[in-house]
Amino acid sequence: MKKVPSLFLLVAIFFVAYTQLAKGQPQPRHDCKSRCGNVTIEYPFGISTGCYYPGDDVFNITCAEDKPNVIENIEVRNFYHSGQLRGMLPRSTVCYDGVRNDEFSSLWFQLDNLSLSTKNKFTLVGCNAWALLSTFGLQNYSTGCLSLCDSSSVPNNKCNGVGCCRTDVSVPLDSNRLEMQPARFENMTSVKHFNPCVYAFFVEDGMFNFSSTEDLENLRNVRQFPVVLDWSIGNHTCEQVVGRDICGGNSTCFDSTRGKGYNCKCLQGFEGNPYLSNGCQDINECTTSSSIHKHNCTDPKTCRNRDGGYYCKCQSGYGLDTTTMSCKRKDFGWAMILLGTTIVFLVILLGASLIKQRLRHRKDIELRQQFFEQNGGGMLIQRLSGAGPSNVDVKIFTEQGMQESTNDYDESRILGQGGQGTVYKGILPDNSVVAIKKARLGDRSQVEQFINEVVVLSQINHRNVVKLLGCCLETEVPLLVYEFITSGTLFDHLHGSTFDSSLSWEHRLRIAVEVAGTLAYLHSSASIPIIHRDVKTANILLDENLTAKVADFGASRLIPMDQEQLTTMVQGTLGYLDPEYYNTGLLNEKSDVYSFGVVLMELLSSQKALCFERLETSKHIVSYFVAAMKENRLHEIIDSQVMNEYNQREIQEASRIALECTRLMGEERPRMKEVAAKLEALRVKTTKHKWSDQYPEENDHLLGVQILSAQGDTSSIGYDSIKNVAILDIEAGR
């Protein structure tokens, strides 16, 4: 009785083996190695006997040093079931620089049962050179291209016959030996210094971009290029091997693009290796994440998978609409009942929502009032009423208006983020563009900082300070509305990629004068002295005329008239923070002077305040400048776009002013009014130099008038250019 099952099993095994052999499907062993390095080896290719298709040795892969090689030294990077593989072919080289090397001028190789795909290009790199491609077989074939150039100024990224040429490859299939040979025309010594070698090679189209600045001299470092090779099974078409092809189940045979042999591919709805007996497996379109094989049923729950495809199954009483691939009810008898029920339900729902909306509106009013108090509305009114003259143009905006102007605070509207909050771009109903600052709140002190900024800005009326248009206290996080400055921050212009950093010396000096004058105004001429406490290039905005606008007064402090300094929690930005203020906590106007000195150094050098790529002792820009001044190499750190032969003295003087501002002891630093006066004097000198360069005769006349005025009536033309202009810049307001 036990012999019957054994006999049945033997017959089944024999039948399967016979079926496979009859169809011509030898299969690989189960223990075959499937990887060589990072490359997957799949049948009909294999690494050892019994693992590759025995019909052709081209499928026998040699794995040496984790690199798969087909034929001889053709390294394979990828295998494709469609009848192609990507490999690496060496290039042919001939050098004329007298350097002995192991490269050779002529290179040939065997393709055996592989063919060069038409996706490849035969390419030559070199000046005044030519390259020849020859094939040998039943039918000989030759082609080539020519490259000419007179000098090293070869167009970049163009392989059009100047420094580089390429031609299409159409090699006869019966040619199994190919030879590449580059050469240069005789007596062409003028190009050898920048193009010592000439190179010829095959490369897949689109995989080589010619660079004249690198490839003419350094292509010798690249020894192999990617190429696409075509392969096929045997020498017969699908019609000639019908019933005997090696294509597995759920696959089909198609004639190779080589013109001989065939390849296999999985049927639609299947994927896998078509050369294995069970290599093509069904794709479950209902669960796959692939966009290529995804189903188009409107309701994913109706999708049903089947071999080679899927279908959309509707529940009982519904039929499939093939136009929309959705399920629709077959019988519309219950539709009217459902419609009536829906209408009644909607009426009840509408009434409930109206009541809920009215209650919500009342709750919103109460919530907005609560936020107004939490955000310091009462404190703001009290401080504005007792702070002296205020900005009469300050407007109170509504929460709804702020949401509409910022598109509900969309991320695309964010202009910048900092320690004091996030700034959005807003568009008001009159189409005016504003900047809306959303403060960061976490405790009571931050509420006071927000109110402090409103109070401070309400006391400032200066053309170089960002104008406060209004605020909104009805939101959970309070908002400030400023005028919109179009050209970004000074930091962006000096260090960013958004704007062109080509600020001239006149632009930079004018910006420095404007910022210094503004700080001097805040310290000396405002109704109550104000210390900014966070002066940095990121808080200096530039308008369309590159006029400086000082912004972000969230950390600023009002100084009582009877005090010269305050003891306060240290606040500011590393790199700009006054070291004396950092160590003692004593805040005075000299802290802003130090920060301005750092800004002036950035304007001169276009270097960041802190840069960890510089030497250990020069990571801070102040140390960087001090070392350069001591070693008499200031010219090395000044931006090359700033310094020229006419303004070196002015730049030296500006650098000394910056060093004076950043002295360690605050009492040794000048006041901002003195700094503004010195910088304005430099600006006058720069203007005179520029005028004298362009109009030398008029300049001589002007100097003569000034000398006469100084000797005679001083009230006619002459004036103290340093003091008067500086005072105008410091004290002028809107």
Provide the H-helix boundaries in 538-671.
Answer: 579-584, 589-605, 621-630, 634-637, 648-661
**Closest among 43, 29, 12 to 247, alpha carbons compared:** 43
C-beta of residue 73 within 8 angstroms of C-beta of residue 144:
no
Structure tokens at 426: 């807003």
Helix/strand/coil for 454: helix
Ranges of beta strands (E only) in 205-274 are 224-230, 251-255, 262-266, 270-272
Q: In whole angstroms, what is the distance from residue 322 CA to residue 330 CA?
A: 14
220 secondary structure, DSSP code: G
C-beta of residue 130 within 8 angstroms of C-beta of residue 182:
yes
- Which residues touch 647 (CB under 8 Å, ≥6 apart)? 505, 686, 689
C-beta of residue 626 within 8 angstroms of C-beta of residue 659:
yes
Burial group, residue 602, by CB count within 10 angstroms (0-12, 13-18, 19+): buried
Tracing tokens 């404007």 back to the chain, one arrives at 514
Structure tokens at 129: 């050179």
Q: Which residues pair with 418 in a beta bridge?
A: 421
**Closest among 480, 496, 372 to 426, alpha carbons compared:** 480
Active site residue ranges? 534
Instruction: Calculate the CA 624 to chain-centre distance.
Output: 30
Structure tokens at 643: 């310094």
Q: Which H/E stretch holds residue 64?
A: strand 62-64
Q: In whole angstroms, what is the distance from residue 620 CA to residue 617 CA?
A: 8
The angle at the Cα of 79, spanning 78 to 84, to the nearest 5 degrees, equals 110
